[in-house]
Amino acid sequence: PDNMRWFARVVNFLPDPAKPLVCLPCGSAAKTREKFGKKMISQGLGHQLMSAVTREPRFERVILSEPCTIIPYALEGQHPDYNLPPQDLSIQSERIFINQLALWLARVKLAQPDRRFVYFIGGIHHFFILHFANEAAGRPFHLVREIPARGVRDYAEAAKRFHDTILATEASGQAPAQAPASLTSLVQGRGRYTHRKFWHAVLLEALDGEDVARSVEPVTSRAQAREGFADLYPTKEETRA
């Protein structure tokens, strides 16, 4: 109920029309509860490493989050606290995430018809959430993305590059060339990724027409979740490197 009340509020949130809209992934920020009394994603490791983007006041920064859908940086701290391990997510819940995000994107486009681009930096899972939400909304925006090849290990350098990409794109009005992102390769990959069952369901629907959108099957097993997150979050030594 708290999450639904939150979405009923933020679905009306509109980014500053003068700022580029940058979507960011949620992440593991459990340690921030001790200091802030709730999970504060902006203070977690991933967002700190992406400080070139996440600490840029000229950008409108919005976190993509299960189960809150979006947490604008401007409203962070007002959102309900949550702890939602991947194995507690279902295929149906991920579909709801996409549909609610699509509704918000459509509202932004309706209110700001001159906005052409939405930017994303982070892991490929949340990029595809954003991609399918944009498709469901009728493709109102051109998505410009930066997906660091080694996950959080590359976040700092990738964020510096992407900061410049965002400003250059806004100045020129021309999107940079991007290699296609492969959902099939994502599903077939090992490690690092923990929502394979959901994306398998997406591929089944696209290729075979099978209706699995209402499935309450977990998107991952506990073993897969442990495997994936062990690879997603580096050790202190790896971060220093």
Q: Is residue 151 part of a domain?
A: yes
Q: Is residue 233 part of a domain?
A: no
- Which DSSP symbol is given to 77? T
Q: Give the mean model confidence (pLDDT) for residues 177-204.
A: 69
Residue 229 pLDDT level (bands cut at 50, 70, 90)? very low
d(CA 103, CA 187): 26
Structure tokens at 129: 């959430």
Model confidence over 4-61: pLDDT tens digits? Answer: 899 999 999 999 999 999 999 987 766 787 788 888 888 888 999 999 999 999 999 9
Listed in sequence order, the residues at least 6 apart from 37 whose beta carbon sits closer than 8 Å to its beta carbon are 81
Specify the pLDDT at position 222.
53
Q: Is residue 215 part of a domain?
A: no
Specify the pLDDT at position 208.
56
Specify the pLDDT at position 174.
97
Q: Is residue 35 part of a domain?
A: yes
* CA-only gyration radius of the chain, Å: 17
Q: Is residue 166 part of a domain?
A: yes
Q: Does the model's pTM come out above 0.85? A: no
- Of 79-83, 206-210, 222-226, the range with the highest mean pLDDT is 79-83
Structure tokens at 120: 């994303």
For residues 176 and 165, the answer to whether their CB atoms sit within 8 Å is yes
Q: Is residue 236 part of a domain?
A: no
Look up tokens 């939150």; give the residue: 6
pLDDT value at 218 more than 80: no
- Total domain count, the chain: 1
Q: Is residue 99 part of a domain?
A: yes
Backbone torsions φ then ψ of 25, nearest 5 degrees: -80, 155
The DSSP bridge partners found for residue 110 are none
Spell out a b/e string for 85-124, using b for 16 or more CB atoms within 10 Å of the CB, else e.
Answer: ebbebbbbbbbebbebbbbbbbbbbeeeeebebbbbbbbb
How many Cβ atoms are within 10 Å of 49's Cβ, its own excluded? Answer: 21
Model confidence over 112-165: pLDDT tens digits? Answer: 999 999 999 998 888 989 999 999 999 999 999 999 988 888 999 999 999 999
Q: For residue 240, how many C-alpha atoms fall within 13 Å in the half-sphere facing its CB?
A: 3
Host domain of residue 105: 2-179
More confident residue, 192 or 97: 97
Specify the pLDDT at position 235.
37
